Amino acid sequence: MTLSDTALSLPDLPAGQAGKPAEIRFFLYLKQLVVSGHWQGDDILPSPEELARLAGLPLPTVQVAFNLLAQECWIVRREWGGYQITPKINQPISRASGFSELIRERGFTPNSVWLRRELAEPSREEQWRLDLDEGERVARLERIRLANDIAIGYECSSIPASLLPYPEQVEHSLYDWMQKHQLVIVRASEEVGAETCNPAMAIQCGLTSGQAMLRLTRISYLADGRPVELTHSYFRSDYYHYQVELAG
């Protein structure tokens, strides 16, 4: 959707950055607007010329800011010449958020293409990660994760069947389903690694074989210490990254 002149009116530029070059100040300003959801996923961004007029800045300054945003994969230039934001996720490492929540915060609509929702015999990893007794089964949820219609990655979640006896009940967000059924996650551990997209995943997800992927393995726990979820996620590395803040 194209934004009107009314929607193009910009908030005041932030103060306290007078020492930075103008193009860096404007880049940081636009990045904050993008991250905060000022523009939605189907919006066509104002052109550099329009933003230069609105902000009272030289066009080359605005073009540098756009180039920096594109280099960091916050925006993308479409083949017809306009710019749109990407569904890039900036995940704080201290926050256990679900995919749907993070995507909504960026102004996109989360969606899934379900590959399977089934009860299954657990793998060895599922047995020890979920602390299952002999004979226990798992509910396994496997899907492609989308932001609007853009394939972001692949995800497989395993939950003890005693907690999720009917996997097809999870229609959209697993965490929304858990909240509805009073399964409150109080802590989670997550392992982060790198992997390339294999041919099978590329075909399923519409990605490029050999493309760099971020691999996440999350184990979530209830208040009584029971593991409730084991999730393996594979996300495009250009659209998903972690943010870590260290206190000195």
109 backbone φψ class: left, alpha, beta (φ>0; ψ -120 to 50): beta
Strands (E), the chain: 75-77, 83-85, 89-92, 110-120, 138-147, 150-160, 187-196, 212-221, 227-236, 240-243
User: Pairing state of beta strands 240-243 and 89-92?
Assistant: parallel
How many Cβ atoms from other residues are within 10 Å of residue 201's Cβ? 19
**163-183: per-residue pLDDT in tens?**
999 999 999 889 899 999 999
pLDDT score for 8: 44
Task: Give CA 166 to chain center in angstroms.
Answer: 27
- Amino acid identity, residue 37? G
pLDDT score for 102: 74
User: Which tokens is 62 given?
Assistant: 């605005």
CA separation for the pair 200, 113 (Å, rounded): 16
**What pLDDT band is residue 243 in, cutting at 50, 70 and 90?**
low
Residue 90 β-bridge partners: 241
pTM of the model: 0.64
Range in 35-44, 92-101, 212-221 with the lowest mean pLDDT: 92-101
Helix axes 48-55, 59-71, angle to 10 degrees: 120
HEC states along 62-101?
Answer: HHHHHHHHHHCCCEEECCCCCEEECCCEEEECCCCCCHHH
How many Cβ atoms from other residues are within 10 Å of residue 235's Cβ? 20
What is the CATH architecture of 89-243?
A: 3-Layer(aba) Sandwich (3.40)
CA separation for the pair 184, 186 (Å, rounded): 6
How confident is the prediction for the chain on average, in pLDDT?
82
**28-69: per-residue pLDDT in tens?**
888 888 877 787 777 788 899 998 988 888 999 999 999 888
Give CATH for domain 22-85.
Answer: 1.10.10.10
Nearest to 38 by CA among 77, 10, 65: 10
Higher-confidence position of 80 and 114: 114
Contacts for 132 with CB less than 8 Å, ≥ 6 apart: 122, 126, 138, 160
Domain limits of the chain?
A: 22-85, 89-243
